[in-house]
Structure 1
Amino acid sequence: MVSSAIQDNVSIQPSTAIDQSSNGPISPPATTDVVLKKRRPGRPSKKELKERSKQKDQQPDHHYDDNHLLYKRRRTRTLRSTSENNVVHPINFNPSIASSSYSVGDQVEAIKITEESKEWYIARVVELLRSSDESDDRVLLVLVHYEGWPPEQADWVNPSDIRLPISSARYGSAGKESEDSWKGYADFYYSKVGTRIRQHTGLVHDRQMSLHTCPCHSRKTIHPERPERIASIFQALRNNRLLRYFRRLDAREATTEELLHVHTFAHVRNYYPIHQTITDENNHTSDTPTPIKITSIAALLNHPTSPPLTRPSQRHGSIIGPTCGVGGGEVVKVDQDRIRRQQRRFSNASDTAIPISPPELVYQMSCGELGIAVDTTFHPLHSSISARIAAGALINLVDQIVQGHLRNGFALIRPPGHHAEDDSAMGFCFFNNVAVAAAATLDKYPSKIRKVLVLDWDIHHGNGTQKIFYDNPNVLYVSLHRWDQGRFYPFSGAPNECGEGAGLGRNVNIAFSVSEEKPRPMGDTEFVAAIYHIVTPIAQQFAPDMIFVSAGFDAAEGHPENLGGYHVTPRGFALMTKMVKDLAEELCQGRLVLSLEGGYELQPLANSAAASIAQLLPPEELPEPALELNNAFNGIKPNQGAVESLKDVIRIQQQFWEFPPRTLSPTFRFHLPIEWRATDSIATRPKRDKRPIKVPVIEGY
């Protein structure tokens, strides 16, 4: 393990006294006027040093306990690392030697950084990031899981921030974890199967994204887009022992150049600290607009319907007014003094983070804090950097896929992005993560990636992605969303919004509306029918070089009417992922990336996301049988509302794409293949338990 490895690399020799007599007799001073320095009190004489040296030479080698000496050095480092400003000093022995000795699964101590402090905690090595230079085997970063802490708290740290455990080491609140469990993880990691499977699917996340939250920290007000979303997905992956199957990737901030591919200068500037952002003499920050109206988050979660609005005249269809949020809500006034008070409150709140107050931060939410675009929470110290890391993390994952190091991957990131337009934040989104990554990929790899498909199955229309790529012939945007004839947020995404200019026909809105005669919500059959009958033939004709999925899970059953209202099950999301993965294998060498968007009820979100992520893995390497489309559905007939909606899409899109002749028939009902119908519907019916599920505690990965 770590201790024995370090002992093999670091040789600590006992100090020996110098025998002056071995250099011959010392010549007497030339004159007697020279005054010799007196020996300091307590300093041993040369004779005493000589005697001590002889005694040490006569003692056996095992008398010097290297573990004891290493403990002294570790203890010294502990004392040196506890200063007023929490500055961590380098350890005495060579950190590069120590880091090269760490193995996955080893128990170490690592610095855990919180908002208040830096502290040492017992941790396990999960992944080692080495230099890309084949001649340089240095460890650049180490992913550690802090024992006793939830899995989403894992963090990438520098090798110099890791040391061997000491007796007074600290664990998280859950305490020490099973040694056998972590040994099993290490054995799998270094096995042939583990090595092979980590070249297939990547998982990217960064702990800093959890800092994006409302400054109110209220327990009474539930903000839908909150850090617990990521935590619930990680816990589901851990409970199903799936974390060991992914190659974990580090994240970074998106650069201003990458963001400017799809966002305006003013928008990027508004969410970057002044000292980091780009400068332009011709661009000046406008005065903060006078706040007009606000909405209540309590109303957001409980309001039954969204307010109907007139059809948009804009090319992208976004008609979100200052009174409309993700779920509508009650409107009240806000004054300018409230904005200035918050700005003063955070002006000196941190020595390391620069507070940001974008011009859009002019709405006051029911919790008492200010928000953006009516309902989007914003922390002046953390939200901006979280948004930049979310976009940069996705770019890092895409780079690994395009360069051939991975086949596919999932970006477990927040805040989401598909509502963010080129010039504004809204709908819990600040930067459009998928749009930024897609544009950066087209720019960075022009010979390999010429066309990309963006499939968006979030229940809300991705107004931002549509607007950004509306006239781009190299990006095909296909959205499956709840529309309800323009009465569901963001009230855009009509089926006749097909693009413009060179991008005409490159925008496909599969907009679901319920039937007035038989109003029924959409579920597995309806979403899969849309992919089978519309998405697949269009994608095959477009022939993309890579597929991006804006993977929102707010269509999952269990979401309230104003945030979702559909009944897609975890099995349904898994089957959708399988179909898109098969499409990527057919069209673009498997290059596929899923990026988390919406999903706000924690249990449906976690189960649905975990089911989708599992389908990215190679089925032959998993312990459970592969999911098949045959016998997978209780019913193969979409409801009346879905049939009417899909007919509208076919009618409009047939001028741009070819569809099988049978789909153009007035009597066509968009049935799924008969063999996909389950023979035992009770056994295959994926019902969600409405009661909280008590899962067993899983230790290790």
Structure 2
Amino acid sequence: MTTSMIRMGMQVDAWKQDLGDFYRARIVEMDDSLIFIHYEGFPPDQADWIHLSDIRRPLANNNISKPNRQHSSINALTASTKRRRKESLQQIDDPNQHQQRQWPHLQDEKGDGDDQGGGKYGPKGRESPLSWKDYATFYYTQEGTKARHHTGLVQDRRMALHSCPCHSKEFAHPERPDRLSSILQQLHNERILRYVKHLHGREATPSELSKAHTIQHIHNYTPPEQEGNKEIMKVTSIAALLNPTPPPKTLRGIGGGVVTTETTTATTQDGYLLPSHRNRLLPNDENITTTSTTTSATTPMNVKLTYPPDLVCQMACGELGIAVDTTFHPSHSSVSAKVAAGSLITLVDAIVQGQLHNGFALVRPPGHHAEDDAAMGFCFFNNVAVAALSTLDKYPTQIKKILIIDWDIHHGNGTQKIFYDHPNVLYISIHRWDHGEFYPHTGAPDECGVGDGVGRNVNIALSDDDSQSRPMGDPEFVAAFYHIIVPIARQFNPDMIFVSAGFDAAAGHPENLGGYIVTPRGFSLMTKLVMDLAQELCDGKLVLTLEGGYALQPLAVSAAASVAQLLRPTSSSNNDDDYRHTLNSVKPNQGCVTSLAKCIQIQQSHWQFDADLLSPSCRFHLPLHWHASEAILTRPKRDKRPIKVPMVEGY
């Protein structure tokens, strides 16, 4: 029998845990003993990290025996394995060294007579061998190697497990697994996935979470020690113990709903589930699983369930939620939230250690609304806060100051609260405020920090003006960057930049969740502005992490525009070399002008601004040569017929 060699792009039979069978797949990336697999004929969000022992060489007779073992978690990595990662990256990049590595378990072998599905493909069938050959060729080129050492993309299928237990086909929750799959599909369509280094996620540890959250909050969103088939543990907060009869509290949802706790029964205030919901919140056997998950859809009684005390609001779909409309699945949401935070930490580590230049964390649930002791606004753990504080703690000589820029349309109340007195973290948020009428009703321009953190909190709070002719869009957001964010960032001089990259300011979102009209080009320009800033101030150390964005098509194209901008300049034609002719208008609307002037009026006590920005007559115009040569009003009418997107095969 001939021994096969691992090579990127090669076809294998790979075990697909959720379907319990082997399927034809392609090797996309490798990290020591783990392999990133794209299953042929399946959408890109089905790609997964699996163990070497879970792949076999394709057999012509389709007889492949199922491995007689339990599929362990990818998180069960030894310390020595982690230490070898950097060396393994160098070996993979060198095809000569790589071909010398032998994997005996990939040898030809006869099946045991049981048809376990070798040679099966996904719904779209077999993919073009020529396309994958092209990927393999690119992978081992100098350009391919440089691309993978420039931009990282972290993803983990466990984050798709978080969903509402209702599984309703009639009611679509805004924060849903489709958000990740739509972005990955867009990256695939634009052939961006071949230009990034794929990283696998992990769960954040309790120690890491405790840097930003209280022990009680972590406990509330951690599965109890007993198994799910035993009696459910009642989780009670310290506040509930001290105040047996809590005062009425108004809860506001990100979608606009309002609930007052005095109208809620006592059984829901202290953390118990309504009796009618107990059975409906058990694990569903149709949920997504992966070899890296800690749960099994086929053995629901082994799943540890979590019932946080804030799970008290009955949502429109009929299930219980947190803070009015934040969905929670007792068997999956806690794991997904920890993986979101841990995945961002993994990406940041790779950037700080010099393995990558920048990266995008494709994570959910989002985090910037999560406070140190409360979940809300679709967020459970504050991913950016956890990662930033972990970075300051782990790399005290390299990373002493961190800048967090938040361009989600909603103010990051959780991030602001956690860093409100922190002298070494500067938080700048540009968000829709509407004089405090827009969710989460925080983020006023005069909220500047307290104690040692005074001046380290900058709120660019946008409010409409009755005389403005259009909603906030590209000129308004870019003007905020150009006139306020960039000058302040230069004075702060951070060692690393984080971006809470929400895309709910994108055109196409409903009024209650967005209402602005930022385009993919606008997000691309903001990404470039931050990239140039990072290159100037901190050797390019930059990480973007997904926050909001709920209209799938605008979310996907906007996120893809930002990722494309992160790539090496020669890697993709989507990069804008400069800012010339990029905006349809260089004049922000009146509401933006008033909002920027108010922000500068307050922040001039903490930061220096050019004299012309302090003038009452300042209109915050952008450079004239940034104006597009062909304005949108003079362009030909857009063909409204559906555009057929050609099927893209391979990475």
- The TM tier, using the shorter chain, reads 0.7 to 0.9
Alpha-carbon deviation of 1:392?
Answer: 0.3
Q: 2:39 aligns with which of 146, 160, 164?
A: 146
Higher relative contact order (CA 8 A, sep 6+): 2
Q: 1:363 aligns with which of 308, 313, 317?
A: 313
Q: 2:17 aligns with which of 109, 113, 120?
A: 113
Does the 8 A contact of 1:252 with 1:393 survive in 2? Answer: yes
Partner letter of residue 468 of structure 1?
Answer: I
Alpha-carbon deviation of 1:103?
Answer: 1.1
Hey, what does 1:32 align to over in structure 2? none
Task: Give the secondary-structure state (helix, strand or coil) at the position aligned to 1:148.
Answer: coil
User: Taking structure 1 as reference, are residues 265 and 688 closer, same or farther at Cα in structure 2, changes over 3 Å only?
Assistant: farther
- Please give the residue correspondences for 1:333-372 in structure 2 after superposition, counting only pairs within 5 Å: 335=265, 336=267, 339-346=274-281, 350-372=300-322
1-structure distance, mates of 2:337, 2:500: 16
Hey, what does 1:255 align to over in structure 2? 205
Hey, what does 2:288 align to over in structure 1? none
My pick for the range that moved more, 510-519 or 529-538, is 510-519
2-structure distance, mates of 1:684, 1:622: 29
Alpha-carbon deviation of 1:516?
Answer: 2.5
Hey, what does 1:26 align to over in structure 2? none
Partner letter of residue 493 of structure 2?
Answer: A
- Please give the residue correspondences for 1:388-407 in structure 2 after superposition, counting only pairs within 5 Å: 388-407=338-357
Alpha-carbon deviation of 1:110?
Answer: 1.4
User: Taking structure 1 as reference, are residues 624 and 486 closer, same or farther at Cα in structure 2, changes over 3 Å only?
Assistant: closer
Does the 8 A contact of 2:416 with 2:457 survive in 1? Answer: yes
Q: 2:29 aligns with which of 127, 140, 145?
A: 127
Q: 1:328 aligns with which of 256, 260, 276?
A: 256
Partner letter of residue 549 of structure 2?
Answer: G
Q: Give CA deviations for 1:134-190 in whole Å, capped at 9, x if unaligned.
A: xxxxxx100001111110111000111111223242211111111111111111111
Alpha-carbon deviation of 1:287?
Answer: 8.8
Does the 8 A contact of 1:201 with 1:247 survive in 2? Answer: yes
2-structure distance, mates of 1:589, 1:693: 41
Task: Give the secondary-structure state (helix, strand or coil) at the position aligned to 2:274.
Answer: helix
Unaligned runs of 5+ in 1: 1-6, 10-97, 131-139, 278-282, 291-319
User: Taking structure 1 as reference, are residues 515 and 210 closer, same or farther at Cα in structure 2, changes over 3 Å only?
Assistant: same
Partner letter of residue 119 of structure 2?
Answer: A
- Please give the residue correspondences for 1:683-694 in structure 2 after superposition, counting only pairs within 5 Å: 693-694=643-644
Please give the TM-score of this superposition, normalised by the length of structure 1.
Answer: 0.77
2-structure distance, mates of 1:598, 1:276: 34
Does the 8 A contact of 2:448 with 2:454 survive in 1? Answer: yes
Hey, what does 2:362 align to over in structure 1? 412
Matched, 1:161 2:63: no
Q: 1:575 aligns with which of 503, 518, 525?
A: 525
Does the 8 A contact of 2:445 with 2:459 survive in 1? Answer: yes
Hey, what does 1:437 align to over in structure 2? 387
User: Taking structure 1 as reference, are residues 535 and 687 closer, same or farther at Cα in structure 2, changes over 3 Å only?
Assistant: farther
- Please give the residue correspondences for 1:545-556 in structure 2 after superposition, counting only pairs within 5 Å: 545-556=495-506
* Percent identity for Structure 1 against Structure 2: 61
Does the 8 A contact of 1:633 with 1:684 survive in 2? Answer: no
- Please give the residue correspondences for 1:166-565 in structure 2 after superposition, counting only pairs within 5 Å: 166=59, 167=62, 168-275=118-225, 285-286=236-237, 322-329=250-257, 335=265, 336=267, 339-346=274-281, 350-518=300-468, 520-565=470-515
Partner letter of residue 129 of structure 1?
Answer: D
2-structure distance, mates of 1:276, 1:675: 64
2-structure distance, mates of 1:507, 1:402: 24
Task: Give the secondary-structure state (helix, strand or coil) at the position aligned to 1:485.
Answer: helix
1-structure distance, mates of 2:633, 2:13: 47
Does the 8 A contact of 1:238 with 1:698 survive in 2? Answer: yes
Hey, what does 1:593 align to over in structure 2? 543
Does the 8 A contact of 1:287 with 1:359 survive in 2? Answer: no
2-structure distance, mates of 1:597, 1:687: 33
User: Taking structure 1 as reference, are residues 381 and 284 closer, same or farther at Cα in structure 2, changes over 3 Å only?
Assistant: closer
Alignment root-mean-square deviation, CA? 2.4
Please give the TM-score of this superposition, normalised by the length of structure 2.
Answer: 0.82
Task: Give the secondary-structure state (helix, strand or coil) at the position aligned to 1:516.
Answer: coil
1-structure distance, mates of 2:320, 2:310: 10
Does the 8 A contact of 1:550 with 1:597 survive in 2? Answer: yes
Does the 8 A contact of 1:556 with 1:569 survive in 2? Answer: yes
Alpha-carbon deviation of 1:351?
Answer: 3.5
User: Taking structure 1 as reference, are residues 455 and 624 closer, same or farther at Cα in structure 2, changes over 3 Å only?
Assistant: closer
Does the 8 A contact of 1:346 with 1:355 survive in 2? Answer: no
Hey, what does 1:621 align to over in structure 2? 571
2-structure distance, mates of 1:574, 1:688: 22
User: Taking structure 1 as reference, are residues 342 and 627 closer, same or farther at Cα in structure 2, changes over 3 Å only?
Assistant: farther
1-structure distance, mates of 2:146, 2:264: 57
2-structure distance, mates of 1:286, 1:686: 60
2-structure distance, mates of 1:566, 1:688: 21
Q: Give CA deviations for 1:572-591 in whole Å, capped at 9, x if unaligned.
A: 00000000000000000000
Alpha-carbon deviation of 1:344?
Answer: 4.9
Does the 8 A contact of 1:632 with 1:684 survive in 2? Answer: no
Q: Give CA deviations for 1:307-366 in whole Å, capped at 9, x if unaligned.
A: xxxxxxxxxxxxx96341112237596554862443455568713421111111111111
Alpha-carbon deviation of 1:284?
Answer: 8.2
Partner letter of residue 655 of structure 1?
Answer: S
Task: Give the secondary-structure state (helix, strand or coil) at the position aligned to 1:362.
Answer: strand
Hey, what does 1:293 align to over in structure 2? none
User: Taking structure 1 as reference, are residues 556 and 224 closer, same or farther at Cα in structure 2, changes over 3 Å only?
Assistant: same
Partner letter of residue 610 of structure 1?
Answer: A
Alpha-carbon deviation of 1:504?
Answer: 0.2
User: Taking structure 1 as reference, are residues 541 and 245 closer, same or farther at Cα in structure 2, changes over 3 Å only?
Assistant: same
Alpha-carbon deviation of 1:648?
Answer: 0.2
Alpha-carbon deviation of 1:681?
Answer: 2.0
Does the 8 A contact of 1:205 with 1:411 survive in 2? Answer: yes
Hey, what does 1:20 align to over in structure 2? none
Does the 8 A contact of 1:289 with 1:359 survive in 2? Answer: no
Task: Give the secondary-structure state (helix, strand or coil) at the position aligned to 1:700.
Answer: coil
User: Taking structure 1 as reference, are residues 612 and 390 closer, same or farther at Cα in structure 2, changes over 3 Å only?
Assistant: same
Does the 8 A contact of 2:235 with 2:308 survive in 1? Answer: no
Does the 8 A contact of 2:35 with 2:50 survive in 1? Answer: yes
Partner letter of residue 126 of structure 1?
Answer: V
2-structure distance, mates of 1:686, 1:399: 47
1-structure distance, mates of 2:640, 2:352: 41
Alpha-carbon deviation of 1:462?
Answer: 0.2
Of structures 1 and 2, the larger Rg is shown by 1
Does the 8 A contact of 2:192 with 2:572 survive in 1? Answer: no
Task: Give the secondary-structure state (helix, strand or coil) at the position aligned to 1:443.
Answer: helix
Hey, what does 1:104 align to over in structure 2? 8
Partner letter of residue 324 of structure 1?
Answer: R
2-structure distance, mates of 1:185, 1:660: 49
Does the 8 A contact of 2:250 with 2:258 survive in 1? Answer: no
1-structure distance, mates of 2:455, 2:259: 38
User: Taking structure 1 as reference, are residues 347 and 558 closer, same or farther at Cα in structure 2, changes over 3 Å only?
Assistant: closer
2-structure distance, mates of 1:388, 1:328: 27
1-structure distance, mates of 2:548, 2:638: 19
Does the 8 A contact of 2:226 with 2:304 survive in 1? Answer: no
Hey, what does 1:312 align to over in structure 2? none
User: Taking structure 1 as reference, are residues 345 and 524 closer, same or farther at Cα in structure 2, changes over 3 Å only?
Assistant: closer
Task: Give the secondary-structure state (helix, strand or coil) at the position aligned to 1:181.
Answer: helix
Alpha-carbon deviation of 1:219?
Answer: 1.1
